[in-house]
Amino acid sequence: MKRAAIAEVQQVNVQHDGDVVLARQMGRQMAMDLGFSKADQALIATAISELARNIVNYATHGTVEMHPITNSRDTGIHVVVSDVGPGIDDIEAAMADGFSTGRSLGLGLPGTKRIVDEFDIQSTPGEGVTITIVKWKLR
Amino acid sequence: MAKVISSSHSNAASETQGYADTLSWFDITPSDRARVRELAPVADRVGDEIINDFYSHILSFEEAAKQFADDKQISRVKQGQKRYFQELVSADLDEAYAEDRRRIGSIHERAGITPTLYIGSYAFYLQRLGHLVLDAMEDDPAKAFGLVLSLMKIAHFDMALALETYVGAREKTIETQQRQMSELPTPVLKLRDGLLLIPVVGTLDSYRARSLTVQMLEGIRDYRARAVVLDITGVDSVDSAVANHLIQTMTAARLMGAKSILTGISADVAQALVKIGVDGESMNTAGDLQQGMELADKLLSA
Amino acid sequence: MAVRVPILRQGSHLIASIQEELTDSDILNLQTRILDEVVKRQADGVIIDVGALDVIDSFGTRTLAEIAAAVQLRGAKMVIVGIQPEVALSMVLLGLTLDSVPTMLDLDAGIAELKGSAQ
């Protein structure tokens, strides 16, 4: 898909749980600035919160990078959450509802996928995980 | 057939093919076109007369006369008619011709000219023209008859183009109205302290279901509601995505601290709910609004 | 900087009113303090007001459910109040339905709920 006019990238380094709060607040602010509905603002903040927490819980450190997407037809938010850590061996299992490798409810990834419009996960075991999500604004 | 004529978004090659198919459907052959072209000099001569006759004919009908604001408009329309008439007998019948007929069809549709007025007018034309042809070829009635038949084919082809445009425009209007129906704001009514009624009427698509969710949840907060009766008697059907959405909305209402009751579930809606795994046990439902209100009272006093 | 949620006593009830966004450690800290207070004060009811939160994710939901379960083990009752419309919707879409904990609209409704169940 063609995407144009990328403006003001925001990035948060994530290592501690305070960074998770900061990342989701920035996501919410960006969603608000782009005119997303209150319900969608909450969904974007929640998705970022879920993904950023995985960095704190399972990896050494990582980043949450977000930027607006604006093209002639649509407005959206593009978020890339990547970490340096053990990675995920079995992505299929991690995406199945009810899967848990540790402290999570097992809802983190599949739940997050449900509340965004696009979801992509890449992992190299021993190196880390990169998850990309996009939420489009309803026209 | 309808598809072929109205497929303006298909690619150019198949459109050209479709157009050729349409002409053969009407059995319009090169000899038809050649025959009709013979009429051109006659049509030029008698065109004005027929058109004048035609307008005195239609102006004698109140319904038809209403279409015209003043004499100036009438003379403008007469000019257009003359061109239409000349094009008919020149029988080019190329794509530009078809496009022009469609354009005229859409102008007529917008102006509120009904198919009856349109076809009736055409019949009047053909009848006059038919008489003229027979008069002009008194010595060869067989040829005259062949010419009239060719003329009929082209006229029907013309009418088909115009009517397809009518139907297309009408479908568009209906679509727009449905869209508007689905964008109707849903009222959130406070029946008494702590009790809301939300009557949903019309089409409940995903778009409207989303706004219903927001209105219901914000209504609960704003009115401090402890119970909500969601009445969907006026909703004919829902798909499983919308049914799912309704359940999620009722669950979210519970998280906010309000009980919700779904009433007026039609057979279709009940099936959609069962399909996504909902049963009467897991949610509050009532047959009709009255029973829903009674259930709400019971839940509120519990 | 850690956020310390005030826990107020009202009769035999405890009221924890969250005023700002909490980190995971803040929530865990709240969990410990509430359970300590329930034991120390012999409370029979706990209300957690989450009206100021605009995100309640899976960790928050799970911890709230754990607090409620532990409170119930002490023979007391817990109510969560003030979940905002968009937060409620996000929770449901995420699959967090918090089935085991009663939820009420606001503090007044929460207090009424605790009083009602005490009778």
CB C110 within 8 A of CB C81: yes
Q: Please name every residue paired with A73 in a beta bridge, in sequence order, or none if there are none.
A: none
Asked if B213 lies within 8 A of A39 by C-beta distance, the reply is yes
Task: Give the nearest partner residue to C25 out of A17, A25, A114, using CB atoms.
Answer: A17
Which residues on chain A are in Cβ contact (under 8 Å) with B210?
A: 39, 138
Please tell me which residue, B236 or B123, carries the higher pLDDT value: B123
Q: Helix, strand or coil for residue A69?
A: strand
In a domain, C73, yes or no: yes
pLDDT tens column, A99-127: 444 444 454 888 899 999 999 999 999 99
In a domain, C2, yes or no: no
pLDDT tens column, A17-66: 999 999 999 999 999 999 999 999 999 999 999 999 999 988 989 999 99
Q: What is the average pLDDT score of chain B? A: 83
Total domains, chain C? 1
Report d(CA B10, CA A37) in Å as an integer.
Answer: 37
pLDDT tens column, C21-51: 999 999 999 999 999 999 999 999 999 999 9
Mean pLDDT in residue range B210-217: 91
pLDDT value, residue B14: 52
pLDDT value, residue B250: 94
Predicted ipTM > 0.85: yes
- B60: its two tokens: 């004698």
Asked if C86 lies within 8 A of A18 by C-beta distance, the reply is no
pLDDT value, residue A105: 41
Residues of B contacting chain C (CB within 8 angstroms): 213-214, 217-218, 220-221, 224-226, 248-249, 251-258
Evaluate if residue B184 carries a pLDDT over 50.
yes
Asked if B225 lies within 8 A of C92 by C-beta distance, the reply is no
Mean pLDDT in residue range B152-166: 87
| Interface contacts (B, C; CB < 8 Å) | 52
Question: What CATH number corresponds to the domain at position C98?
Answer: 3.30.750.24
B32-41, B142-151, B168-177: which is most confident = B142-151
Residues contacting residue B258 through CB under 8 Å, at least 6 positions apart: B220, B225, B226, B227, B228, C105
Alpha helix (H) residue ranges in chain C: 24-41, 58-73, 85-94, 107-118
Structural domains in chain A, sorted by start: 10-136 (3.30.565.10)
pLDDT tens column, A74-102: 899 999 999 999 988 888 888 876 544 44
Evaluate if residue B2 carries a pLDDT over 50.
no
Which residues on chain B are in Cβ contact (under 8 Å) with A37?
A: 214
B144-148, B199-203, C92-96: which is most confident = C92-96
In a domain, C39, yes or no: yes
Task: State the best of B183, B206, B210, B215 to mutate against chain A, taking most chain A CBs within 10 Å.
Answer: B210
A4 band by pLDDT with thresholds 50, 70 and 90: very low
| Interface contacts (A, B; CB < 8 Å) | 7
Task: State the best of B221, B251, B255, B283 to mutate against chain C, taking most chain C CBs within 10 Å.
Answer: B255
pLDDT value, residue A39: 92
A139 band by pLDDT with thresholds 50, 70 and 90: low
Structural domains in chain B, sorted by start: 2-181 (1.10.490.10), 189-301 (3.30.750.24)
Report d(CA C91, CA C32) in Å as an integer.
Answer: 24
- Residues counted in chain C: 119
Evaluate if residue B183 carries a pLDDT over 70.
no
Mean pLDDT in residue range B216-225: 95
Enclosing domain of residue C27:
7-118
Mean pLDDT in residue range B81-108: 81
Evaluate if residue C119 carries a pLDDT over 60.
no
In a domain, C1, yes or no: no
In a domain, C53, yes or no: yes
* pTM listed for this prediction: 0.67
pLDDT value, residue B11: 45
Taking each helix axis from N to C end, the angle separating A38-58 and A108-115, rounded to the nearest 10 degrees, works out to: 150
Share of chain B above pLDDT 70, in %: 92
What single letter denotes the amino acid at residue B192? Answer: R
Burial class (CB in 10 A: 0-12, 13-18, 19+), A24: buried
Mean pLDDT in residue range B277-294: 86
Evaluate if residue C77 carries a pLDDT over 90.
yes
